Structure 1
């Protein structure tokens, strides 16, 4: 029996956090939610997460900044970046920084699940 993956959801909007949390928990994932990148980094959960889903636009540290910092520290944790302001230049920056997926809000639950499946499959290959 496999252990459920731990997914960390970072968004400054509590409604978005709750919606993603509910979606992922309904699919059997263990979910940790955070209101900011700083809160995530202070948490012990930041080291055992299987995937990070982070908003691009957050106060103080953006999702792209967090991804860049974690990559600089040697973390290969997959990232899915989400934004209410999808823009091709932001998408390009996110993917260049190493995001597995980039979704504009609102997104369909099936799109999120496809991104998560891809991120976790890539993570399995990296660890494998």
Structure 2
């Protein structure tokens, strides 16, 4: 990584946001955290994000709804969707919406880092 990638983490659970933030910062990433999709959409970080890690189930706007909305607006930002309720229907919806990766909570740090590597590689390819 020559330029630090900016990762936006969206989860309504502060402990999940903090854990992911700490992990990613320890690996050299710049991390911005948000308690909701609407908070993220209203932020200055919306267009500077290299990857979004979002909870599927958040109040008002779900991670899948956010991904769908951003794709409809032409954004190719990679998404990693996480959920405490991973079932096949949700996984299918996430992938159909364009998620790069789908992880059930709890997940390991290595699983998240593998997903992030794939997402950032995919993001690099889409900008070439």
TM-score (norm 1): 0.99
Alpha-carbon offset, residue 2 of structure 1: 1.1
Aligned ranges 1:1-128 → 2 under 5 Å: 2-128=2-128
Unaligned residue ranges in structure 1 (runs of 5+): none
Q: Residues of 1 paired with 2:3 and 2:123: CA distance?
A: 15
SS of equivalent to 1:45: coil
Q: Residues of 1 paired with 2:125 and 2:40: CA distance?
A: 25
Q: Give 1 or 2: higher helix fraction.
A: 1
Alpha-carbon offset, residue 86 of structure 1: 0.5
Unaligned residue ranges in structure 2 (runs of 5+): none
Deviation >6 Å, runs of 4+: none
TM-score (norm 2): 0.99
RMSD after superposition:
0.7
Per-residue deviation, residues 69-102 of structure 1 (Å, max 9, x unmatched):
0000000000000000000000000000000000
